[in-house]
Amino acid sequence: MLRMRSSKVVRPQVRGQAASLFGTTTPKKSFRSKSRVNTSTSGSSVVDTLRGSKPGTSHTIVTPSGRPFWKPIGCNNPLTPLFPGVSLPTSVSVVKPKKRPITKEELREARLRAMARHQEQQKQQQLQRHTTKDVAQTELQNLLRAIHRSKPRSSTDTATNATSTIPEDPKEKAAFGYFTKLIGMNAAQGDMAEAHRLYTQMKSEGLPPSAATLTLLIEGALRAEDEQKIAHYLAEIKKHEIAALLPDLNRRSAPITGDRASLDPRVSIQIATTFPKVPDSDLTNSLRELPPSASLPALTKVQMDLEAGVADKTVKEYQELVEDLRSVGLGANLMRHRLIYQWFVPLRNAIEKEQEAVSSKTSKNIGKQVYGPYLRTLSPEKLAVLTINVVLSRVLADLEGEPVVKLLSRIYTAVHNELVNSKPGKVTKNKSGESSSDEWPAAVRAHVASLLLKLLIDTAKVEHSDSLNYDVVSGKIATSMELAFVHSIRIVNGRKQGFVRVTPEFVDNVTAQGVRDALFDSRMLPMVVPPVPWTKTNRGGYLTDTAQKSIMRYKGSNIQAQVLKNNSYDLHQVYKSLNYLSNIPWVINPFIRETVEQAWENGGGIADLPPRINLPVPSIDPIVPQDKTFWTERWKAKHTNRNYHSLRCNAVLQLQVAHELRNHSFYFPHNLDFRGRAYPIPPHLNQMGNDMCRGLLKFAAVKPLGDRGLHWLKIQLSNVYGNDKVPFDERVAFTEKHMEQIKDSVDNPLAGQRWWLGADSPWQCLAVSKELVDALRSSSPEHYLSGLPVHQDGSCNGLQHYAALGGDVLGAAQVNLAPSERPQDVYLGVVGLVNKRIQADAQAGKKIAISLLGKVDRKVIKQTVMTSVYGVTLIGAKAQIASQLTDKKLLPENEIQGASLYLAIATLDSIKEMFSGARSIMKWLAECASTISKQNKPVAWTTPLGLPVVQPYRNYKLKTVKTLLQEVNLAETTDDLPVATNRQRSAFPPNYVHSLDATHMMMTSLACAEKGLTFAAVHDSFWTHPSTVDTMNMVLREKFVELHTQPLLQDLHQQLQRDHPTLPFSPVPPRGDFDLHQVLKSEYFFQ
């Protein structure tokens, strides 16, 4: 209705059609009108005011929202269509109010009010929870008194060992519900003592627990990490015959059977994602159950099982899980896969449906017709297993998400490798139209992999339940099925990039065991039997064809693979060296393993073990505005926690492998990169790993220390502690000086003084300390049997090879090719030349040199000197030095760029002065590569041991493919693409030198094998027993001299000229005067 409030200010309240036209605001005065109509009120006041106005009067209609009235064309009065038949003024103006800016004080008051409302809501919720809990307890006591009055309880009424069912009596059923609700509430709030008391009272009242009750109790015990309570409740599940509880439970999973029938997984126990205290796994049960003295045939059988086709084994395992679920429900043996098995059948069915769709002749989708034959290369069961395993292994390693492009690449690699292993041979298409094991086109890879990934995202779901949301009447916990993975688009470096991450619901449900299993591949474990000798490029290493069977990691270069298989190359020496390295037996150091596991159980965070608990992330205060420092600290905390998660995954895998192999000797099969450098194939635990990995490893063969073994153990301890730039006698004195701390470290590694934690390599320091103390405490240290490796490392080995090639006298002395009383430090040598230049420029009055006086040390220029071997540019050197100046805060920010450029030029000039021959060789190699690559040909050469090397660098063109998931930019990896001229040029010098250091290592390994030494290597770090260090030192020097007395550069020049007879190559730079035979007398050449 319309009503009048004022003759001057009219406030209409228009409903229906007019209601959408009005709003509320502050009225604005019109300079022309004497009457102001406010539309916040409505009624006849509008009509009366306008009808009674004098002719020519102008009215202002104040619209609170500021929105214009709707009016017919040609009508100046916006109210005319609202009041038909009423004589209204012909002109009514609409005033839109100006918005007044909000002041800081008003904003602060608004925030305070919002905070107060939030606190009040939290208080009310907490009060409601307590009220609910108190009410539930009161109601429960009333029910129990009523039950006792109606049916007096005798001692025989307590049926704690009877089959558990929900009572039929209404009062008992209600009491049962209140008991379960209270148990769930207390368990969720961490009050396990009260929850257990209620559980005991529940049984004493003759109300046997249900599966829901025990599930709530186990959830609480898991959160409290109360292993004793967990074991007790699991025993109660068995005691109360869990099968009888099935009808009482709510369905807790989506249908997973092949015929889509609904299925109860019986009981689901949510376990928080905490990393385990002690690694344990049932992946290698056969290995764990094998006695340490098992025969070779028994070990061979175990090794074959470990290498068995993981996809076939997992498919069979998942199918058996489904059958188990159909018959007896979820047993203890299924806990490991309690989430993953739910995904297997839905994903398999979805893939099977897609395979049927792409094979249909009536399909009009051109894309499906193209990639369809490839999708049918493997069974849907195998494709499902491979997709689940690949995605889980990546997204669990980084909870922030994995880029879609990387996931697609890994899914394709897994599918293709399985196809190659299961269907060896090369055909393009068979009669049925199925694709072969050849490399697939890039677009097909993207389509197939994205289809599998999308199907997994759509079908993988996890159960999400709220322990507090318990229905007393139905006796059920409210649950829902939520997605396990989420696909999202983020802006990374200004470009859109797709990511897949796990959802919080999945994180809440997955177990630590599931994390390890998802990241674990038993095919890539160290071998428990000697590897198969390499006799061909595709025959050697692991026993079966399901694991890595290529001698080289090709980096996508088919030319390299074809050249390597050419029978014109004699790879006999290469095979022999790899076989010797692969056949060195290793064992786990029990002292280090137990100490690491104890440190991990205590929470980690020492040595290179990451902490098991994340850093606290600063919370956002809605009242107080946050400054830049707050957001920086918040970002750092989140970034550090992401890194911690990745490090924890690696630590868990390393500990798991060590735990599995603790009672057996094992072997690391080796293969090569494209430059000829040898690498162990097992990825998680090997001698090239971090400090903890190296500390965990010992040679299986033990040898008496002899006369010099104790001496080298003391030097090794000084080296790993970080005291490695002094003469050997001073290193021995350092160890003897700290003998009391060393003994304390061995006797109380975690509870004592913990001196070993101050070492550069703490776990290796502790391992050497243990070996040294045990030897000294033995009756005869000379006869003590030691299996600990002692390392001898090259002194900036790349520059050593360059100095030997160029004959640089000054450079050779700086990298210890020449004898000296004290070990030389090339970084100190370069920084000495740099400081001389700074002093000279400062005396000449150069401001930037004056500001740098006394501030440039070894650390500032170390990275630039190291990367000079790899052809670092002036821009790269400037960035490296600027980073060091910034970290050390040596100069004001506005001076860093100029100072870093000055130092970069000075450092590179000093290196040229010190290694004049090396720089000329680098330049010559780069020119040769540029000449070859300009002809669209890759640079190729043969190492002194006969290994052919082809640089794989090409200008890959990105191709955008629109898949079911997102658009994917793909790089074609074929040898038909043009070579990358700049990359071929810049990479040739370092790659050539790497092929030389690989050759030196192989020559040394072959000579050590002939002398009966145990030998292992990490590129330019050579390992052997303490008693044989002197012999190995003599051998490695002899082999270095033998290698470089060959005309290496002349042979390379002839080879390039032979392969490219029409191209002009510059002559080899002249060599300096350094005598290579001085290396034989250099005590610190390797140290």
Q: Which two tokens stand for residue 1066?
A: 């510059």
Q: Which two tokens stand for residue 482?
A: 């939520």
Partner residues linked to 465 by β-bridges = 479
Edge to edge, the sheet with strand 1016-1018 lists: 790-793, 1021-1024, 1016-1018
CB 411 within 8 A of CB 449: yes
Q: Which of 48, 545, 793, 975 is catalytic?
A: 793
Residues in the chain: 1087
Measured CA to CA in angstroms, residue 532 lies from 226, 575, 579 at distances of 47, 11, 8
Backbone angles phi, psi at 501, to 5 degrees: -135, 165
**Helices (DSSP H) in 869-1019: which residue ranges?**
874-888, 893-914, 916-933, 981-1010
Chain centroid to CA 474: how far? 43
Q: Which of 549, 862, 878, 1039 is catalytic?
A: 862
Query: What does the alpha-carbon distance between residue 850 and residue 843 come to, in Å, rounded to a whole number?
Result: 8
Q: Is 259 a catalytic residue?
A: no
Question: Is residue 551 classed exposed, middle or buried when 0-12, 13-18 and 19+ CB atoms within 10 A define those classes?
Answer: buried
CB 511 within 8 A of CB 271: yes
**CA angle (619, 625, 628) in 5-degree steps:** 80
CB 530 within 8 A of CB 667: yes
Query: Which residue bears the tokens 């395993």?
Result: 389
For every residue of 804-815, DSSP letters joined together read HHHT-HHHHHHT
Query: What does the alpha-carbon distance between residue 167 and residue 472 come to, in Å, rounded to a whole number?
Result: 13
Instruction: Name the helix (H) or strand (E) containing 553.
Output: strand 552-553
Q: Which two tokens stand for residue 961?
A: 């493919």
Q: Is 862 a catalytic residue?
A: yes
For every residue of 184-224, DSSP letters joined together read HHHHHTT-HHHHHHHHHHHHHTT----HHHHHHHHHHHHHT
CB 1017 within 8 A of CB 581: yes
Report which of 923, 873, 928, 880 is spatially closest to residue 900, judged by C-alpha positions: 880
Pairing of strands 402-403, 495-502: antiparallel
Measured CA to CA in angstroms, residue 907 lies from 813, 871, 918, 950 at distances of 18, 13, 15, 32
Report which of 1022, 1000, 1024 is spatially closest to residue 1012, judged by C-alpha positions: 1024
Helix, strand, coil share of the chain (percent; to 5): 50, 10, 40
Residue 624's CB is within 10 A of a number of other CB atoms, namely: 11
Q: Which of 517, 691, 808, 1020 is catalytic?
A: 1020
Q: Is 517 a catalytic residue?
A: no
Chain centroid to CA 861: how far? 31
Measured CA to CA in angstroms, residue 458 lies from 351, 483, 508 at distances of 12, 7, 19
**DSSP strand E in 96-151: where?**
none
Active site residues per annotation: 793, 862, 1020
